[in-house]
Chain A
């Protein structure tokens, strides 16, 4: 199972929006409504930000939103803030009880 493809890095100024793509196949991202996104600050554990493609857990700011088109999922961070600077990983259920994560994207707040 190959890792989902994410851009290595994206950046934006405070207040701007950034979008991270996550490209898979019809066997994972495009085949199930089970795409989730995780934020990871350096040296810290991952934190759930989005599940089921576009649902937000309680406590996650509504600046974070998820979507999907075909085999590509996306995470958008609106109104970028300094604390949003982190690594972000997508994850998809891939059938036969396996999961595949994305390659990871570093978000830099300029």
Chain B
């Protein structure tokens, strides 16, 4: 059974840093495209970042230069390092698997974790 479990959220002051983790089971993180999507309280979904099977990464303009996506294949875990946090980064952060075939992305997200809440406030 595919499962994604996020952790690492919490209350952090503006300008601070936080690292989110997403433990995956039931599939191999290294051979899948993995993404982060966030949802501000009472708001819609916003795509944040993706890491390809080969390690290439992409980011939304709103987080570029501040967030870094990575993974540890040995731990089957995805990470999101968030620096220079702002109030507008307050959201539930979901990790999700982007479905792929023959190592090519299919451009939809088939499994999601339950999310972890990040609150940026002084």
Contact = CB atoms under 8 A, between A and B. Distances in A.
Contacts of A97: 50, 58
Interface stretch (A11-19, A41-49, A69-77): A41-49
22 contacts: A1-B61, A3-B44, A34-B108, A36-B107, A36-B109, A38-B109, A45-B94, A45-B112, A45-B114, A46-B112, A47-B112, A48-B108, A48-B109, A48-B110, A52-B107, A52-B108, A91-B109, A96-B58, A98-B60, A100-B47, A101-B37, A102-B44
Interface in B46-92: 46-47, 50, 58, 60-61
B106 interface: yes
Contacts of B45: 38, 46, 89, 91, 101, 104
Interface of A: 1, 3, 32, 34, 36, 38, 44-48, 51-52, 57, 89, 91, 93, 96-104
Interface string B31-42: 000000100000
Contacts, number: 61
Contacts of B46: 101
Overall SS of chain B's interface: strand
Chain B contact residues (Cβ within 8 angstroms of A): what range?
A: 20 to 34
Interface of B: 37, 44-47, 50, 58, 60-61, 94, 96, 99, 106-110, 112-115
Contact of A103 (B44, B61, B113, B115): B44
Given A45-B94, A47-B112, A104-B44, 13 more contacts: A36-B108, A38-B109, A44-B114, A46-B37, A48-B109, A51-B99, A51-B106, A51-B107, A91-B45, A91-B109, A93-B107, A99-B107, A101-B37
Contacts of A45: 94, 112-115
A78 B113 CA distance: 28
A98 B47 contact: yes
Nearest to A100: B47
B18 to A, nearest CB: 20
Nearest to A55: B108
B57 to A, nearest CB: 9
